[in-house]
Structure 1
Amino acid sequence: MLALIGRKRSKAARQGAAGLVDADSGRVLPRPLRRVVRFTVSLAVGRVPIARHTGTVAAVAFLAATGFYGMSLGGHTQDFTQVTTAAAGFAIDDVKVSGARETSEIEILAHLGLDGTTSLVALDVEDVRGKLAELPWVEEVSVRKVYPGTIEVVLKEREAFAIWQHGNDLSLIERNGSVIAPLRDNKFSNLPLFVGRDAETAAASFDKQFDNWPEIKARVKAYVRVAGRRWDLRLDNGVVVKLPETNIARAMDVLSRFEAEHGLLERDIAAVDLRLEDRTTIQLTEGAAARRKVVLEQRTKELKKVTDRS
């Protein structure tokens, strides 16, 4: 019995020396902490071998961690990644663009911000997509990385429906009336022209009404919005057709009938006023009006001579 107690006390003494037992209370440390304490004691007394250069490696790791932390605080992590990955062979050397009809590749490259050393790894695809989406003609855009050094850009561009003149400015618009970009050249000269305030928002619906009169529609050079209430048509020969606010179909049927029966639009006239339902007014050109005046004066003289003789 005394021998057993002696062995327990001897074991407790060893554990106490190893830090596993609280000498005052006799409590034993939890099992997860025992290994940690044993390793710490062994390390302190030199029983655990330490590899050579461990201190150097630890110092370098500490300095590297400190450097990365400093770059993170200073906002230079992206620059560091850019330089290192580009040097490793991931510099962007090719940009493949598809779907670009009106958007130039020069504009695309300018928004990508490539300088010959830009890294594909460090490239922020979402940032690039957002910048390209701001280009006037771009409706949708996707950007994809193809390692080791290629970017694929796929565009879906907006569709020009007409030209809108507001003041002295000319702009290309979509079918829904949204402005795409200023008109820069004659490339879109075949598109219909809509003139005036609010003309762009009503352009598509108004243009569609003339599908039933294709011969006349083909001769329209401009649709002019008047006071935001009604429209004038300016034809290719300069004739102005004044349409009513409502029941445009009736007015166009009248105009189509006059053209078919009398060739009205081929005559020397300046305007056709169809605003009133019960009458159609024809305005002659200045030359035609002057000639008509001469004819009327001559006819009046002849009638007067006839009257005097009788």
Structure 2
Amino acid sequence: MFPLTTRQSGAVRLAGGDFVLPRWLRRPARFMQRVNAGEVEAPRYGATIASALLLGAAVAYGTVAGGHMPQVVEAVTARTGFAIAKVNVAGNRETSEIDVLQVLGLDGWTALMGFDAEAARERIAALPWVERAAVRKVYPGTVDVDIVEKLPFAIWQQGSKLFLIEKDGSVIVPFNGSKFASLPMVIGSGARDSGPAFIAKIDRHPDLARRVRAYIRVGERRWDLRLDDGVTVKLPEAGEELALATLSRLDREEGLLSRDITSIDMRLPDRLAIGLSPESAEAHEAAMRERLGLKKKSGARI
């Protein structure tokens, strides 16, 4: 080490040159000069303390360099009273709290300080029924989860499979015969996307809408209606709104849908074809025979 000299100005210089030490180094330089001169006695256990400090610094550096600092902070804070002890879930009806807890990934020692609320929100939002979610940390050890769920609009049948869908046609979950069985059913290819808009047209005729149980997409071109008593109404490819208005009027004025029929074919613009049940067909045939004077005689052939 170079010897140090101090001039009257207080500047510390190297004896062999004119370099002036920065002010913040002058006090440590003087201290080291006194240590070298034997004027300063090392404290008791100084070597042990210095070794411990060196080891602690090495551990801290390794922790930071290895990217383990978040785990260390979490472990320390969890054991000092900041572990997540309670989760409040609100707004869930179809999403179980067990599913929420599973995606949160809590292990009983998860510290609130190191808990990533945004990542947890994204995982919860990915659950099938969840439309959106909010996750908040409440110190010292509580997590609040608020959920807004999707609203099922209809049941979509594709082949032999059934799904609950939203109003925009998005699939929520497979349908399992739950409490949503009263929802309208849309059937066929293309029904998932175009069904909501078509159902809105039916809703303009409330008396008719109350009786419809299924909306069947035929060839991705037109619709059939399946009513609650099994009657099938075949609508035209074009002019379906006029056909619906006509059907609603005929039912209101003549009770068409209350008759003993099996189908109503409205695909042709200038006529209405009505399918009769076997009993109605037989009664109709008998009435026609009577009108034509072909009353059946006992043992006679017609």
Q: Smaller-chain TM-score range?
A: 0.7 to 0.9
Q: 1:245 to 1:262 in 2, by over 3 A?
A: same
Cα distance between partner residues in 1 of 2:5 and 2:143: 68
> Corresponding residue for 1:20?
13
**Which amino acid letter does the alignment assign opposite residue 243 of structure 2?**
A
C-alpha contact 1:91 1:117 (8 A) present in aligned 2: yes
C-alpha contact 2:5 2:15 (8 A) present in aligned 1: no
Q: State the identity %.
A: 44
* Structure 2: segments with no counterpart, 5+ residues: 298-302
Describe the SS at the equivalent of 1:265.
Answer: helix
> Corresponding residue for 1:44?
36
* CA-to-aligned-CA distance 1:224-271 (integer Å, 9 cap, x gap): 111111111000000011111222121112212322233221222221
Of residues 184, 192, 209, the one that matches 1:217 is: 209
* CA-to-aligned-CA distance 1:132-183 (integer Å, 9 cap, x gap): 1111111111111111111111111111111111122211111111111112
C-alpha contact 2:159 2:188 (8 A) present in aligned 1: yes
- Which stretch has the larger CA shift, 251-260 or 208-217? 251-260
Cα distance between partner residues in 2 of 1:73 and 1:14: 41
> Corresponding residue for 2:300?
none
C-alpha contact 2:289 2:295 (8 A) present in aligned 1: no
**Which amino acid letter does the alignment assign opposite residue 18 of structure 2?**
R
> Corresponding residue for 2:111?
119
Describe the SS at the equivalent of 2:241.
Answer: helix
Of residues 224, 227, 239, the one that matches 2:231 is: 239
Cα distance between partner residues in 2 of 1:253 and 1:298: 35
Matched, 1:130 2:122: yes
Cα distance between partner residues in 2 of 1:55 and 1:127: 46
Equivalenced residue count is: 291
> Corresponding residue for 1:154?
146
> Corresponding residue for 1:274?
266
Describe the SS at the equivalent of 1:189.
Answer: helix
What is the CA-CA distance between 1:22 and the residue it aligns to? 5.3
Describe the SS at the equivalent of 2:132.
Answer: strand
Describe the SS at the equivalent of 1:232.
Answer: strand
- 1:256-267 maps to which residues of 2 (within 5 A)? 256-267=248-259
What is the CA-CA distance between 1:114 and the residue it aligns to? 2.1
Describe the SS at the equivalent of 2:207.
Answer: helix
What is the CA-CA distance between 1:218 and the residue it aligns to? 0.4
Based on CA coordinates, which of the two structures has the bigger radius of gyration? 1
Cα distance between partner residues in 2 of 1:73 and 1:270: 78
**Which amino acid letter does the alignment assign opposite residue 138 of structure 1?**
V
C-alpha contact 2:153 2:167 (8 A) present in aligned 1: yes
Matched, 1:87 2:79: yes
Cα distance between partner residues in 1 of 2:65 and 2:29: 37
Q: 1:15 to 1:291 in 2, by over 3 A?
A: same
Q: 1:99 to 1:13 in 2, by over 3 A?
A: closer
Query: Which structure has more helix as a fraction of its residues?
Result: 1
* CA-to-aligned-CA distance 1:44-63 (integer Å, 9 cap, x gap): 22334544444333322322
What is the CA-CA distance between 1:36 and the residue it aligns to? 4.8
Describe the SS at the equivalent of 1:223.
Answer: strand
Of residues 14, 20, 44, the one that matches 1:29 is: 20
- Which stretch has the larger CA shift, 294-303 or 146-155? 294-303
C-alpha contact 1:20 1:34 (8 A) present in aligned 2: no
Matched, 1:98 2:76: no
